Each structure stands twice: as structure tokens, then as C-alpha cells.
Amino acid sequence: MSDTILRMRGITKTFPGVKALADVNLEVSRGEIHAICGENGAGKSTLMKVLSGVYPHGDYEGDIEFDGQECRFAGIRDSEHRGIVIIHQELALASNLSIAENIFLGNEQSKRGLIDWNRTNAAAAELMKRVGLNENPVTQVLDLGVGKQQLVEIAKALSKRVQLLILDEPTAALNDDDSEHLLGLLRGLRDQGITCVIISHKLNEVLAIADRVTILRDGKTITTLPAEGLTEDKIISGMVGRDLDHRFPPHEPTIGDEVLRIENWSVHSPTQHGRLLVDNASLNLRRGEIVGLAGLMGAGRTELAMSVFGRSYGTGISGRIIKDGQEIRLRSVREAIKHGIAYATEDRKRYGLNLIEDIKRNVSAAALGKLARGGWVDDNEEFKVAEEYRRSLNIKAPSVSSITGKLSGGNQQKVVLSKWIFTDPDVLILDEPTRGIDVGAKYEIYTIINRLADEGKAVLLISSELPELLGLCDRIYTLSAGRITGEVPRAEATQEGLMTLMTAGQEAPR
Amino acid sequence: MSVAPTNADLAVGGGPSLPETSGTGRKFSINLRQSGIYIAFAAIVLLFTILTDGDMLAPQNISNIIVQNSYILILAIGMILVIISGHIDLSVGSVVAATGAIAAVLMVNHHVPWPLALLITIVVGAAIGAWQGYWVAYFGIPAFIVTLAGMLLFRAITYMILGNRGIGPFPESVRTLANGFTDGYLGNIGLGDYLGGADLLSLLIGVFAVAGIVVSQWRSRAGRVRYGQAVEALPLFIAKIAVAAVVVMFVVVQLARFRNLPWVLVLLAVLVLGYTLLTNRAVFGRQIYAVGGNLQAATLSGVKVKSVVFWIFVNMGVLSAIAGIIFAGRLNQANPTGGDQFELDAIAAAFIGGAAVQGGVGKVVGAITGGLIMGVINNGMSLIGAPSEQVMLVKGAVLLAAVAFDVWTKRRAGASR
């Protein structure tokens, strides 16, 4: 049957002490877009690594049949030779090389050992046209946004005469426009006969684009369903193995006095001279309140948060911060922490954690002084504190001496939260606290956020997921092009209404 | 497999737990990575003891190994901190020469009293460190470049101070510090026919040191148990302390039989103890690891990263000055070419001792062991009469092998994820 392009049967892959895949089956039809869904750790990436030869034949059990032939890949070159190309979540481009050079990296267009630049650039331009990338082939990749870099990756895959394109979380870092373009492109590729396997956490996208969906859970295939007639809730219940009638924990807020007020806050770009990132923004937070900050990518949400957090980003910062009725000046992160402000970053791996250290040393990192007397740290107390957070936040790790780099995203996020809760803040700014985290762990993070509010802390929640803001926040500010364009109480907020405010004034920035 | 959530609110989010990755194979490789260096050290000592018919461990030779390598070990302590913070210092050899020269000029040419001269020299070392620390931490030039420049600058300054000749001799006190031995205030004691007489004071210091190790380790363990932390099994704990006690007492007895404890050993012991405490327990020490492990995360956790890096270089300057005094005092002369390539020995000691090139990882005791491994190779090979090019060859191979082993174990640990 030529109808089925890929058949993976009985795939079992074990790591020392762990069965990552147990008898997984996957069938992909020719010319379809096939989505794979599952929580983090369900085995999606492992399965794709088996398919693309990252784990060579013999390293796993089971067999792979591609295009009617059994495959025994010894490495990624073998699978690419057969037309199977994988594009990882973290893009693998050389940022100092041009688009054309990247497209033909490892596959250089040469003549007698010398690169034929004319042919390289002309062929690259051809491929770029196919993916709708409107740039000069000699442009350096570092000058492109993430969305366009993704297109370069796909053009690179096309240059290898791809038959089966695997995309691992392709839209995780993209804004809505770029995501839309990418999904349109995938539909176009499907019409040209290229089969796609897409791994995504964004279930609405999965439903919008996929023809069929395979759900993995705990290293096993749960089911493969046609996307027609499928709903997000059905996918989620398959992923978590239970019905999820509510995605957000119930919460009755107890709102107290104002704790933080930001007035006329403006921030300039540190790299582009004179560019205003945050424009005269004013907002306030009250005890026990969860306040949302909604905005599109580039609206200035993170810039606003980080500039308030001890001027850790931006230049030419002006405006007033009033804490508990008194104006304060925060010139450094230390001063911000001292005044009871905490900021949990959107990029926990790069800015949030010391990945080579264990849980307890990360938990104590922002408030080591609390554990020290005369400059000496009491590491027994440190252990005790970390252990308390491990229990109360349900961090799944053998012990607090586990290295944070080996934890899953959700558990890493809990370590970041522990670190900031331990500084005993009055105001917690949480920047995309559930990014890249699976559904189950998200629910736990939401529960923690509610608990913090119940303890009388004010939470400023920055999120790109509108349902998350609607499900958690008591009040939502919208930010558009650096300006606060709206303040909506929970009862009046809708996705459509917020989106309108988030795009307000985009056309004519000052 | 699913873990029962501890909190009823979280029940919905229980989900699959992360796999428990502690198979026996993994535990073994971690232990191997941490203790590999000590096992390697023991093996190298054993090898040369056999090759030299026991001369390796003779009283005088042990004393020689310590005194001959003291300045490299002192530099290695400073270097490991620099490397943990994610930087490097290529200038220490030149700084050793420059500070030695300053000490010599002060004491020999200007007859400054030796305690004052040493103090001034150490302050100059701190100033040199502050100079380099400023460019690295506050100006933002990579340490490789700053200290490469420093290597040339301070060598040039050494030549300018000394005018292309050696200056000496040093006062008796400085020579004793660098090369001499503690006085036997309590006289000798007989240790039987085979061992002969030994210095009582040295032996007592050794006994106190062992007692200190036992008491502090036991108290630390008891504290951990009280807090419900995991501790190693009691037999293993006792075995480790017993090995440490035997090694310390063996070295002390041999030294007591020869000429008492060298002053530099006393100095080294104080430095190792102090810096081990600093890196393990002090807030500043923790911040060094935080800066090296993830600079941005440390910044956003309120660590004053620039100041941490600055003080690490000041510290390196101070230790370089101490090493400079000891080195010049030992030769009884400050030389314009002195300290040549010391930076390479200190860096090699740190990496053999388990430091990571990316920063964030390393231990003072590891760097000391790394330095001793090279010292023993130097000493052992010269005892068996190997030419210097062979010594160099072996040292290069050991450095490469040590780091290759580290990378290999790391990769294995990573692959089992």
C-alpha cells in the first residue's frame, strides 16, 4: 500500500532505569499533516529521535517502514537521505552565516571543491520563494526574526528533497502572525505532496491544521483519531488520562489594600537609540489580587516588568513606583528584592536557573542572606527550606540535591517559583509562568498562584495565553505598543475584547 | 507510574512523575567522577613508589614535594575560583615575578623591614588584581585578553624593576618562610628502632589535625542527620575518615622524622582550609558558583556579579603575591624570568582537579590534588632520572586524559536522560 508512507511498529526505547517508549505504533498517511500530542515526557521527542536516526538502529526495539521499505538508520544522515527531515524546537542555524549558506549547510553547492556562489544564492532564492520568505539570500540569519528563521529551516529541509517533514513545537516561539503564516505554509506543502508530522502543545493549532492526531501518554500510544470532530478537551483528556472538566482551579479572591502603584512609567530601548518600549504606563496591584498583563509579542510586557524589577532592562527609565503608599527607588535587583518585589522570568533556562546546580542551591539563590549568619551559609537550614518547598509545591524529584537541569519544564518552573517565594515578596511578577509546560503541571502552577494570592501577595501575571489570563486574573491590563490600552475586570473580559485592546493603536505608533 | 500528590488541590495535576533516574550504574559513574581524581592520585603515587623502590615516600622527598610545589598550589587555589566564575587568568606567572621583584627591591635595596615589605607586596598584588578585575568585570573585556595583556605588562614591569638581573639575598625570616621548617620546641621523641626520632610538636599538630577532621566531619554528619538529609552509610563514612587520617598522619610522621613541618605546609593548610570553607559555606563562595553557573540568572537573583568577579581577581592578585614571595624566597633571589609558565601549571592543576571549562564547577581540594598530581609526576620522574621532555610529555597527556575523562563521564550522565 502506497497510502501509508510511514509505519512504526512496536517501538520500545529504554534508558537506564526508564522506559521512555513502550510498544509505540504510529502510522502516517502520505500527504497528510499528522499531529502528535502528549504531555512533556510522554515520549514525543524520543519517538521522533528514533525515527530520524538520532537513536540508531539497534538502540531501540521495533521496526520502521518508510515508503514501503524497512529502515535501519545508523544516523541522521541516513534518514535525511531518505527524505525524512526533523526541525527541532531550538533552531539549528548558524546566525553569522547568510540565509543561502544556512540552507545549503552540509550540502554545499560546489564545483571542483569550490563553492559556486551564484548557484547557491539562486537556488536559495528559489526555495525561499516556496516558503514565502521575502528576503535577500545573502542576509545574515541573525538579522531575521524567529518566524523567518523557522522559514529558513523549512527551506533547508526542502533543499534536501524532503518527503516527511517533522516539526517539533514549531510555533512555540512565534507570534500569531508568524504562526499563521507557518501553518499556511504547511498546508501548501501538504498540497505539494509533502507529509508533515507536527508536535505541538497548542491544541487549537493542532485542530486547525492536522488531518489526524496521535496521542501519546507515558510512552504509549493512546489512540489515533481524525481531527474532524475532535475537540481540545477530548485531546486533553487523552493526554492526561482523565477528564478535565475545568482547566483552572476555582478561586475566590480576597482583595485588600493597594500594595504597588506604577505611575507614568517609560522605558527606552538599550540597543535602538531613542526607541520607546514602554510609553507612560500606569498600573496598580492590590493585596490578594491576581492582575493580568496581556499584550502581543513586542508590546513591552517583559520590558515593563524587568525595568520595574530594579532596572534590569532598558535605559532612560522614568516614572514613579509607589509601594504601600510610599515612593521607592529601585536601582538594582537587590533593592527590588529588598522592597518585596520578585520577578520570575519567561525564560527559566537562560535567566531563571543555574542548571548545573541542584534544587536547594537554586531555591536559596535570591535570598541567601536569610540563610546566612555573618556571611556564612547554614546549609542544613538551606536543605530544610528547599525540602519544604519541594513538598508544598510538589516538585517531582528524588531529592532537593537533584540537578535542576535534569528536571522537566514544569518542575523547573516550580523551582523558580520556590526561589522567589522564599524571598518573601509582597509583589510577584510572573512572566509566562506556564510556557512550555504540560497540561497537568500547568494546573499545579495555577493552584500555586492562587495560593500566593490567598496569602495576601499581589501577583502580576504576564501571559500570551488569553484563556489563562481569563481563568486566573481578577483584573487584566492590556498593553499595546508600550502603552496601557485597557483595564478590564474579570467579569467583563472576553478573548475578543482583550484582543481588540491588545491591537489598539498598533497602526499609528507615536 | 504516577505519584500521589501531596496536596488535595493538586490532585488533578498529579500526572506522570519524572522517571527516577538513580540506577546503580549512574550512581557509580557520579561517584567515579567525583572520586576519580583521588583514585588517580593514589595510583600515581603508588606507581612511583614502586618505580623508585620507596624513595618517593621517603621523609625528605615528601618534604621536597611540598616545598617545591607550594607556590603552584597557592596559585591553583586562586585559579580555581577564577575558573569557577567562568574566567581565566594567564598573567599569574608574570605577577609572581613582578611581586617577587617588588619584595626584593623593598627588602634588599631599600632595607624595608620584612613584615612591612611583605605587606606592601601583598597590597601591590591586590592592586594588580584590582586592575585586571576592573577591565574584566566593569569594562567587560574577556579575561583571556585582559590577562594575556597582563602577562606581557607585568613581565615588562618585572624587567623594569630588576633591570635584567637577579636581586638577593633575602632576609633570613623570609627564607625560612619559603624554605624552612618549624622549630621543634618540644624536642624529639623516639618512635622505635625502625622509625627513629621524630619532632614531638609536629606529631602533636598532626594528631590535632586528625582530631579536628574527625570532630568536624562527625558534627557535620550529625547535623545533616538531624535535618533528615541523606548521608553516606556509616561504614563508608568511617572508612573515608580513616583513610584521610592515615594519609595525614603518614605525611606528618615522615616530616617529623625529617626536619619538622615546613612553614609553607602550615601556610598551605591554612589557605586550603580557609578557601574550602569560603567556597562551601560563605555567601561569597556561593555567589562565585552562581555567577559561573548562569550569569544572567545570578544577575536576576540580585547577585552583584561585577563585584564578585572583581574580587575574585583581587584575590588572585593577593595569592599571586604570596606565591611570588615564597618563590623568590626559596630561590633567595628575585629573577626577571621567574614564574615563567606558572599560569599553565596552575590552570592545569585546576582542570585536572575537576573544574569545568564553562565555569560553575570545581573544588579547592580538587585543584590542590590536581597540583599534587603534577608535582608527584615531576618529582617521581626526576627520581627515576627521566629527561625533562619526557616529564612534559607525561604532564600534557595527564591533563588531556583528566579532562577527557571528565567530558566522557558528563556525556554518559547526559545520555542516560
Average pLDDT over residues B128-137: 98
Residue A174: which pLDDT band, with cuts at 50, 70 and 90? confident
Q: What residues have CB less than 8 Å from A322, skipping those under 6 apart?
A: A260, A261, A262, A263, A328
Provide the residue count of chain B: 417
> In angstroms, rounded to a whole number, what is the distance separating the alpha carbons of residues B168 and B209?
36
**Model pLDDT, residue B20:** 38
Look at residue B400 in the predicted model and tell me its pLDDT.
93
pLDDT for the residue numbered A197: 94
Residue whose grid cell is 619559603: B178
**281-310 of B, contacting A, C-beta below 8 A:** 281-284, 286-287, 289-290, 293-294, 296-304
How many residue contacts between A and B have a Cβ separation below 8 Å? 163
Cβ contact (<8 Å) for B290 and A354? yes
User: How much is the average pLDDT of A420-441?
Assistant: 89
| B64-180+269-410 carries CATH number 1.10.8 | no
* Between residues A271 and B103, the one the model is more confident about: B103
Q: How far apart (Å, rounded) are the C-alpha atoms in residues A103 and B156?
A: 50
Across the interface, whether the CB atoms of A218 and B19 are under 8 A apart is answered no
Residue A479: strand pairing partners: A295, A484
Q: Which of B176, B89, B168 is nearest to B125 (CA)?
A: B89
DSSP A154: H
What is the Cα–Cα distance from A356 to B360, expressed in whole angstroms? Answer: 7
pTM of the model: 0.80
Residue A28: pLDDT band (50, 70, 90) is very high
Q: Which range (A124-128, A436-440, B221-225, B324-328) has the least confidence?
A: A436-440
Q: Is the peptide bond before A226 cis (omega within 30 degrees of 0)?
A: no
Which of A194-203, A230-239, B22-31, B136-145 has maximum average pLDDT?
Answer: B136-145
Q: For A332, which residue in chain B has the nearest alpha carbon?
A: B302
Find chain B residues with C-beta within 8 A of A444's C-beta: 10, 13
pLDDT above 70 (res A428): yes
CA distance A135 to B43: 61
Give the model's confidence band at B329: pLDDT under 50 very low, under 70 low, under 90 confident, else very high.
Answer: very high
Q: Which of A261, A259, A305 is nearest to A282 (CA)?
A: A261
What pLDDT, on a 0 to 100 scale, did the predictor assign at position A467?
82
Write the pLDDT tens digit of every residue in A136-146: 999 898 888 77
Distance separating alpha carbons of residues A426 and A253, to the nearest angstrom = 16
DSSP bridge pairs for A84: A164
Q: Using a CB cutoff of 8 Å and minimum separation of 24, what contacts does A396-402 make? A: A396/B3, A396/B17, A396/B18, A397/A359, A397/B18, A398/B20, A398/B21, A398/B22, A399/A359, A399/B230, A400/A358, A400/A359, A400/A360, A400/A363, A401/A358, A401/A359, A401/A360, A401/B230, A402/A358, A402/A359
Chain B residues whose beta carbon lies within 8 Å of the beta carbon of residue A420: none
Percent of chain A with pLDDT over 90: 49
Judged by CB atoms closer than 8 Å, whether chains meet at B299 and A354 is answered as no
Least Cα distance to A283 among A440, A479, A143, A135 occurs for A479
Cell numbers at residue A472, please? 486566573
- The amino acid present at B333, given as its one-letter code, is Q
Question: What is the mean pLDDT of the segment spanning B183-190?
Answer: 78
Distances (CA, A) of A409 to A437, A506, B18, B270: 6, 33, 11, 43
CB-CB neighbors (< 8 A) of A366 in chain B: 301-302
Out of B25, B282, B303, the one facing A376 most closely (by C-beta) is: B282
Report pLDDT for B68: 92
Do A418 and B249 contact (CB within 8 A), yes or no?
no
pLDDT given at position B33: 62
Residues near B260 by beta carbon (within 8 Å), at least 6 away in sequence: B181, B182, B183, B184, B199, B201, B202
Question: In chain B, what is the straight-line distance between the N-terminal and C-terminal CA atoms, in Å?
Answer: 17
Instruction: Tell me the pLDDT band of A508, cut-offs 50, 70 and 90.
Output: very low
Q: Tell me if A351 and B7 make a contact (CB, 8 A cut-off).
A: no
Number of C-beta neighbours around residue B391 at 10 A: 17
Nearest to A85, CA basis, from A126, A42, A51: A51
Q: How remote is the C-alpha of A71 from its chain's centroid?
A: 33
Cell of A5: 508512507
Q: Looking at per-residue confidence, does A181 or A289 come out higher?
A: A289
Which of B12, B283, B299 is nearest residue A377 as measured by Cβ atoms? B283
Contact partners, residue A405, CB within 8 Å, separation at least 6: A353, A355, A356
Among B1, B19, B302, the residue with its CB nearest the CB of A366 is: B302
Residue A100 is predicted with a pLDDT of 92
Instruction: Select the more confidently predicted residue: B26 or A306.
Output: A306
What's the pLDDT score for residue B15?
A: 35
| Contact residues for A226 (Cβ-Cβ < 8 A; gap 6+) | A211, A212, A213
A479 pLDDT above the threshold of 80? yes
Residue-wise pLDDT tens digits, B283-325: 999 999 999 999 999 999 999 999 999 999 999 999 999 999 9
Q: Which range has highest mean pLDDT (A73-87, A235-249, A478-492, B124-138)? A: B124-138
Residue B190 has pLDDT above 60, yes or no: yes
> What are the residue boundaries of the structural domains of chain B, listed by start?
64-180+269-410, 181-261
CB-count burial class (<10 Å; 0-12, 13-18, 19+) for B215: exposed
Q: What residues in A contact B406, CB-CB < 8 Å?
A: none
Please report the pLDDT score of residue B13 as a whole number: 34
Taking the Cβ of residue A411 and every Cβ of chain B, the question of whether any pair is shorter than 8 Å is answered with yes
Residues of B in contact with A449 (CB under 8 A): none
Looking at residue B349, its pLDDT comes to 96
Residue B3 carries which side chain, given as an amino acid letter? V
The average pLDDT across A428-444 equals: 86
CA dist B354 and B207 (Å) reads 30
Q: Do A394 and B298 touch (CB under 8 A)?
A: no
Q: What is the pLDDT of residue A147?
A: 80
Chain A positions touching B298 (Cβ under 8 A) are: 354, 365
Residue in B5, B296, B356 nearest the CB of A351: B296
Closest partner CB to A443 (pick from B13, B280, B297):
B13
pLDDT score at B414: 56
Mean pLDDT of A52-60: 88
Interface TM-score (ipTM) > 0.90: no
Q: How far is B104 from chain A (nearest CA, A)?
A: 36
Which chain B residues contact residue A18 at CB under 8 A?
19-21
Residues of B with Cβ-Cβ distance to A369 under 8 angstroms: 283
Percent of chain A exceeding pLDDT 70 equals 95
For the segment B267-287, the average pLDDT, to the nearest whole number, is: 95
Kindly indicate the confidence band of residue A342, based on its pLDDT and cuts at 50, 70 and 90. Answer: very high
SS (H, E, C) A404-426: HHHCCHHHHHHHHHHHHHHCCCC
Beta-bridge mates of residue A489? A475
Please tell me which of A48-52, A460-464, B26-30, B71-75 the model is most confident about, judged by mean pLDDT.
B71-75
- In the predicted structure, residue B10 carries a pLDDT above the cut 50: no
Q: Do A333 and B416 touch (CB under 8 A)?
A: no
A373 contacts chain B (CB < 8 A): no
- Summarised one tens digit per residue, pLDDT across range A118-171 is 889 999 999 999 888 888 999 898 888 778 888 898 999 889 889 999 998 887
| Domains located in chain A, CATH noted | 4-240 (3.40.50.300), 258-340+425-502 (3.40.50.300)
Beta-strand pair A33-37/A195-199: parallel
Q: Give the residue on B whose Cα is nearest the Cα of A369.
A: B283
A332 pLDDT band (50/70/90 cuts)?
Answer: very high
Q: Do A408 and B229 touch (CB under 8 A)?
A: no
Q: What is the residue-wise DSSP string for A7-45?
A: EEEEEEEEETTEEEEEEEEEEEETT-EEEEE--TTSSHH
Alpha helices in A192-266 (DSSP H): 203-209, 232-240
Q: How many residues are there in chain A? A: 510
Q: What percent of chain B has pLDDT over 90?
A: 73
* Cβ neighbours around B233 below 10 Å, total: 8
What integer pLDDT is reported at residue A510 of this predicted model? Answer: 36
Distance CA A433, CA B39 (A): 45
Q: Give the per-residue pLDDT at B14.
A: 35
Which of B12, B21, B286 has its CB closest to that of A18? B21
Q: For all residues of chain A together, what is the average pLDDT?
A: 88
Mutate to test the interface with A, among B26, B289, B301 (most CBs of A within 10 A): B301
Please state the rounded mean pLDDT for residues B372-376.
Answer: 95
Measure in Å the smallest separation between the Cα of B17 and chain A Cα atoms: 6
- pLDDT digit string, tens, across residues A187-207: 999 998 899 999 887 788 889
B416: nearest CB among A16, A244, A443: A16
Cβ-defined contact of B289 to A376 (cutoff 8 Å): no
Residue range A100-126: mean pLDDT, rounded: 88
d(C-alpha A286, C-alpha B155), whole Å: 62
Nearest to A195 by CA among A184, A210, A181, A180: A210
A197 φ/ψ sector (left φ>0, alpha ψ -120 to 50, else beta): beta
Q: Choose, out of A240, A242, A356, the residue to mutate when testing the contact with B (most B CBs < 10 Å).
A: A356
A residues 287-326 closer than 8 Å to B (CB):
309-310, 312
B78 Cα to chain A: minimum distance (Å):
20
Burial category of A492 from C-beta neighbours within 10 Å (exposed 0-12, middle 13-18, buried 19 and up) = exposed
B20/A353 CB distance under 8 A: no
The number of angstroms, rounded, from the C-alpha of A297 to the middle of its chain's C-alpha atoms is: 13
pLDDT band at B9 (very low <50, low <70, confident <90, very high): very low
Nearest CA in chain B to A311: B300
